[in-house]
C-alpha cells in the first residue's frame, strides 16, 4: 500500500560502534533539519539500554546492515512506525537502500510516495516449570540447537496442541518468510516471498531423513519441549539474543500480534535483491516478460 501522508518527524538509528554509519546518520540528520524536518539521531543499543523511540516519530531510518534492522524490529516494531533500511556497506536482504540511493529514495518517502509491506513477526516464549520466564519478538527466526561438542538434540514438537513428531537433529528452526533468506536458507529450507503469512518449521540435519521442512499457517502455535537428558542447548532469537535451556523446558512460537511495517526500496524489487545476493545468473535468451 502507498504511504497516506507525508513525513515530518523521523528517527535515525545507526549501527553501534560503526563510525561510518554514525557519520552517515549525522549527514542525514543535518539534511533533514535544513528542510525543516524534526530529525533525531540514536545509536542502536542492546537490551536493557535500548532508549524509547522519540515522541512523534513517523519514520525510522536504520543505518547499518541487516543485523541492525533486526534489532530495531525487535525493539520498536510493535509501535507500528514504518522502517526504511539503509545499508552502510554491501546490499542486504533487509537494508535494501544503498548510501548512494539514500537521498533520492528519501525524497520520495518524505513526500509520502512509498509502499509499505507488512512483515510477519514471531512471539517466542520460554516456559520453565510451568512459568513463562522469558519472551521476545523476532523478525527472522527462533533457533534451538546444541553446542559444538554434542550436537544432536532430542526435541518433541506439537502444533496447536497436537503431537507432531520427535526430532533428533542438530537443531530446529522456526522462521518467518522474511527469515527464509537467513539461517533457514543455509540449512536447506525454502525461500519464501517476504509478505506471505506462514511459518517455516525446519529441522537442522535431522537424524531421520524423513523429517522434512514444514510450511504452517500463520495462525499455528508451535510448541517444542526438551527431553530430560538435554545439556548445552540454547534458544536464540534472530541470532542476537537468547537463553540457555534446561531439561523439561518448553518453547512456544507463534505469530506476533503486530507486523513490522517495512518500506520497500523504490529502486529495486525483491527478485533483483535475490539475484544480486545469491549470484543468480541470467542465461542468454531467457530474459524477458516471462510470457511465451
d(C-alpha 39, C-alpha 58), whole Å: 10
In terms of domains, do 110 and 126 share one? no
In terms of domains, do 129 and 252 share one? yes
Report if residue 287 sits inside a domain: no
Task: Check if the beta carbon of residue 33 is closer than 8 Å to that of residue 39.
Answer: yes
Q: Does 249 qualify as catalytic in the annotation?
A: no
Task: Check if the beta carbon of residue 96 is closer than 8 Å to that of residue 87.
Answer: yes
Could you list the residue range(s) of the whole structural domain that residue 40 is in? Answer: 9-115+264-278
**Which pLDDT value is given to residue 148?**
65
In terms of domains, do 73 and 149 share one? no
| CATH number of the domain to which 108 belongs | 3.40.50.10330
pLDDT tens, 87-107?
997 767 898 898 999 999 999
In terms of domains, do 164 and 242 share one? yes
Report if residue 284 sits inside a domain: no
Q: Provide the domain count of the chain.
A: 2
- Residue recorded with cell 499455528: 220
C-alpha cell recorded at residue 173: 528452526
Report if residue 292 sits inside a domain: no
In terms of domains, do 91 and 202 share one? no
In terms of domains, do 214 and 241 share one? yes
Report if residue 3 sits inside a domain: no
In terms of domains, do 199 and 250 share one? yes
**Which pLDDT value is given to residue 208?**
86
In terms of domains, do 109 and 56 share one? yes
In terms of domains, do 130 and 251 share one? yes
The one catalytic residue in 30, 66, 141, 232 is 66
In terms of domains, do 239 and 133 share one? yes
In terms of domains, do 106 and 138 share one? no
User: Could you say which residues of the chain have pLDDT below 70?
Assistant: 1-5, 91, 148-150, 228, 282-292
**Which pLDDT value is given to residue 149?**
62
Report if residue 285 sits inside a domain: no
| CATH number of the domain to which 192 belongs | 2.60.200.30
In terms of domains, do 104 and 131 share one? no
**Which pLDDT value is given to residue 290?**
55
| CB contact set of 24 (below 8 Å; sequence gap of 6+) | 14, 63, 86, 88, 99, 102
pTM: 0.91
pLDDT tens, 78-88?
999 999 999 99
Report if residue 2 sits inside a domain: no
Q: Give the residue among 201, 184, 180, 181 at the shortest CA–CA distance from 253.
A: 201
Report if residue 286 sits inside a domain: no
**Which pLDDT value is given to residue 252?**
98
Report if residue 135 sits inside a domain: yes
Amino acid at each position: 500500500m502507498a504511504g497516506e501522508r507525508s513525513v515530518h518527524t523521523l528517527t535515525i538509528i545507526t549501527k553501534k560502534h560503526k563510525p561510518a554509519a554514525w557519520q552517515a546518520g549525522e549527514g542525514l540528520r543535518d539534511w533533514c533539519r535544513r528542510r525543516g524536518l524534526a530529525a533525531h539521531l540514536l545509536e542502536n543499543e542492546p537490551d536493557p539500554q535500548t532508549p524509547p523511540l522519540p515522541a512523534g516519530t513517523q519514520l525510522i531510518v536504520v543505518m547499518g546492515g541487516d543485523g541492525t534492522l533486526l534489532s530495531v524490529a525487535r525493539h520498536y516494531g510493535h509501535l507500528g512506525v514504518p522502517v526504511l533500511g539503509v545499508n552502510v556497506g554491501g546490499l542486504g536482504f533487509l537494508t535494501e537502500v544503498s548510501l548512494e540511493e539514500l537521498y533520492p529514495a528519501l525524497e520520495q518517502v518524505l513526500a509520502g510516495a512509498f509502499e509499505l509491506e507488512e512483515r510477519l513477526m514471531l512471539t517466542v516464549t520460554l516456559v520453565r516449570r510451568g512459568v513463562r520466564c522469558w519472551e521476545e519478538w523476532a523478525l527472522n527466526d527462533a533457533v534451538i540447537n546444541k553446542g559444538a561438542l554434542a550436537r544432536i538434540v532430542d526435541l518433541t514438537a506439537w502444533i496447536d496442541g497436537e503431537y507432531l513428531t520427535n526430532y533428533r537433529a542438530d537443531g530446529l528452526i522456526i522462521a518467518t518468510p522474511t527469515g527464509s533468506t537467513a539461517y533457514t536458507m543455509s540449512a536447506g529450507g525454502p525461500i519464501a516471498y517476504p509478505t506471505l503469512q506462514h511459518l517455516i518449521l525446519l529441522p537442522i540435519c535431522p537424524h531421520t531423513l524423513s523429517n522434512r521442512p514444514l510450511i504452517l499457517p500463520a495462525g499455528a502455535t508451535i510448541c517444542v519441549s526438551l527431553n530430560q537428558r538435554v545439556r548445552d542447548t540454547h534458544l536464540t532469537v534472530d541470532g542476537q539474543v537468547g537463553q540457555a535451556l534446561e531439561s523439561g523446558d518448553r518453547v512456544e512460537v507463534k505469530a506476533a500480534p503486530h507486523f513490522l511495517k517495512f518500506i520497500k526500496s523504490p529502486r529495486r524489487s525483491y527478485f533483483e535483491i535475490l539475484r544480486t545476493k545469491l549470484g543468480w545468473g541470467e542465461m542468454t535468451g531467457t530474459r524477458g516478460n516471462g510470457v511465451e
